[in-house]
């Protein structure tokens, strides 16, 4: 296999590419925290400048909160396809800080891994696309496609402003395919293309009891306890077989069919290894489904956080006035977060103890997505990944969410291709997030090859 000029350029410039990525990773662009608004904006400006450096037209476009960075190269001509690359330059908070081996925003290479917040999710992966474009532009003087890079700064807070942004700029963002790297490969050396993402419906549930905290001896037994009431409410969310017990919840869940289930079963996955990796005594979940099916193609309901009463040192006898739970649902096609909100409200109205008052706040949502499993686009991605990784990808599902994906398909009427280069256990959202050093090089090579494949026009559906 001949090494292309672009691949030679990538190899020759890898150290510089990596040094640039480290600069990007040093900027704590934590979208959730307003104290980091300046850093988040700094990251946007940094990315715009790097895209300008390599020959893209690039600008920052405002949204009500964190800006969008747009990079464009439209020199391939009207007959060439237009590829829109999407990624996010914002990151999750790094807490708990004391659990990081090296500080979260000081990139550290250890054991063949780049450790830093955002190395995998998603700055590192977004940057692969920029460096793939740079390699092609530097080596060939042009790209095989028209390219739009759209980087948002609000993905980790649910992309609240991106749908209106894409709607408002739909003409400018018109494209033939959207390509996203914000996920992981199925296993080391085993590239993957995603066929699904779960959606999300996230709520904060607050149970109010007495007007203020009370002495649990003087009042306990005669006054409702909001912590117990919340526990009872949460206890009604599942039945004994692990199914969600909200009436109507499964009405819109489509059956994935035996073909997908057979493909999932054929993947090299070891329950025991997975169990040991997460450190539980036994695996659990909805009866009748394998672990991967539970993670990818079945909806879930999780408590993400719980708060009530006295949680400090020692004992304090108190009957709390309030209790609160953060509850999220991962959704599968064709569920809709707005419908889930209605069903949850109706369910809680039925089961909440009458002595309480329950408030439900909708925090954010995102539609689930189901993609292609065959066709020209998948073939193009397979060839590109095979060129870099020496083997064709597997098709996998994903339990996480990228809220804009379904909206891209709806608004831009273009298919989305999701291929990520992180690895399982990348600690996305957790301490010691990492990205495999090996895939920095291989990812850039694969993404340059992908643009070549897409430019050859072979993918048209």
Binding positions for ligand BES, rule: CB under 6 A: 121-122, 155-156, 158, 182-184, 200, 364, 366, 398, 400-403, 428
Minimum CB–partner distance for residue 32 and ligand BES (Å):
9
| Cβ proximity to ligand BES, 198 vs 387, nearer residue | 198
Mask for 117-156, x = binds Zn ion (CB under 5 A): ----x-----------------------------------
Smaller CB separation from ligand BES, 401 or 439 = 401
| Nearest distance, CB of residue 426 and ligand BES, angstroms | 8
CA distance 384 to 420: 13
For residues 196 and 225, which CB has a smaller minimum distance to Zn ion in the complex? 196
Shortest Å, Cβ 107 to ligand BES: 18
* Half-sphere exposure (Cβ direction) of 301: Cα atoms closer than 13 Å: 22
Q: Which is nearer to Zn ion, 121 or 154 (CB)?
A: 121
Question: Shortest gap between Cβ of 121 and Zn ion (angstroms)?
Answer: 4
Question: Closest approach of Cβ 201 to ligand BES, in Å?
Answer: 10
Strand ranges in 314-457 using DSSP code E only, listed in sequence order: 318-319, 322-331, 357-366, 369-370, 394-396, 416-418, 434-436
Tell me the window of 64-72, 116-124, 277-285, 348-356 that interacts with Zn ion (CB under 5 A): 116-124
Selection from ligand BES, Zn ion, none that 108 binds (CB < 5 to 8 A by kind) is none
What are the tokens at 371? Answer: 């993609």
DSSP string, 210-226: SSS-EETTTTBTTB--H
Spatial strand order in the sheet of 108-110: 108-110, 113-115, 434-436
Question: What part of residues 159-178 is at the interface with Zn ion (CB under 5 A)?
Answer: none
Q: Which is nearer to Zn ion, 121 or 432 (CB)?
A: 121
In the complex, the smallest distance separating the C-beta of residue 122 from Zn ion, rounded to whole angstroms, is: 7
Q: Which residue's CB comes closest to ligand BES?
A: 400
Beta pairing partners, 180? 86, 418
Q: Are strands 434-436 and 300-308 parallel, antiparallel or unpaired?
A: unpaired
Q: Please, which residues have CB within 8 angstroms of residue 458's CB and are 6 or more apart in sequence?
A: 376, 379, 380
Residue 296 is encoded by which pair of tokens?
Answer: 């990818």
Q: In this structure, are strands 82-88 and 146-152 parallel, antiparallel, or unpaired?
A: parallel
Q: Between 147 and 402, whose beta carbon lies closer to ligand BES?
A: 402
Candidates 95, 353, 340; CA nearest to 210 is 353
Contact residues toward Zn ion (CB under 5 A) are 121
């Amino acid at each position: 296999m001949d090494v292309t000029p672009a691949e030679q350029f990538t190899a020759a410039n890898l150290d510089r590419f990596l040094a640039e990525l480290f600069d990007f990773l040093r900027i704590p662009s934590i979208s959730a925290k307003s104290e980091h608004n300046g850093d988040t904006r700094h990251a946007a400006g940094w990315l715009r400048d790097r895209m300008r450096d390599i020959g893209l037209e690039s600008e920052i476009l405002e949204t009500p909160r964190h800006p969008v960075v747009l990079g464009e190269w439209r020199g391939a001509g009207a007959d060439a396809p237009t590829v829109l690359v999407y990624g996010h330059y914002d990151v999750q908070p790094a807490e708990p800080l004391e659990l990081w081996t090296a500080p979260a925003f000081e990139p550290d290479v250890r054991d063949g891994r780049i450790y830093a917040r955002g190395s995998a999710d998603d700055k590192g992966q977004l940057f692969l696309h920029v460096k793939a474009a740079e390699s092609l532009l530097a080596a060939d003087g042009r790209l095989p496609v028209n390219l739009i890079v759209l980087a948002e700064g609000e993905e980790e807070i649910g992309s609240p402003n991106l749908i209106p942004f894409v709607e408002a700029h739909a003409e400018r963002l018109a494209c033939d395919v959207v390509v996203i790297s914000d996920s992981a490969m199925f296993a080391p050396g085993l590239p993957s293309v995603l066929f699904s993402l779960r959606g999300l419906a996230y709520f904060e549930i607050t149970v109010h009891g007495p007007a203020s905290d009370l002495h649990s001896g003087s009042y306990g037994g005669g006054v409702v306890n909001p912590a117990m009431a919340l526990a009872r409410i949460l206890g009604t969310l599942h039945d004994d077989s692990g199914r969600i017990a909200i009436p109507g919840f499964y009405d819109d869940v489509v059956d994935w069919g035996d073909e997908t289930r057979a493909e999932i079963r054929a993947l090299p996955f070891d329950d025991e290894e997975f169990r040991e990796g997460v450190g539980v005594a036994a695996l659990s979940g909805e009866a009748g489904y394998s672990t991967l099916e539970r993670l990818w193609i079945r909806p879930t309901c999780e408590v993400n956080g719980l708060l009530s009463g006295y949680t400090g040192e020692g004992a304090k006898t108190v009957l709390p006035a309030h209790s609160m739970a953060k509850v999220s649902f991962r959704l599968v096609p064709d569920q809709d977060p707005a419908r889930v909100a209605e069903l949850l409200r109706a369910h809680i109205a039925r089961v909440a103890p009458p002595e309480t008052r329950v408030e439900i706040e909708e925090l954010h949502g995102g539609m689930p997505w189901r993609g292609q499993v065959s066709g020209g686009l998948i073939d193009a991605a397979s060839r590109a990944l095979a060129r870099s990784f020496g083997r064709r990808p597997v098709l996998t599902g994903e339990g996480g969410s990228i809220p804009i994906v379904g909206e891209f398909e709806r608004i831009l009427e273009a298919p989305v291709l999701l291929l990520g280069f992180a690895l399982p256990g990348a600690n996305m959202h957790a301490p010691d997030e990492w990205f495999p050093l090996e895939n920095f090089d291989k990812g850039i090579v694969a993404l340059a090859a992908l643009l070549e494949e897409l430019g050859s026009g072979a993918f048209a559906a």
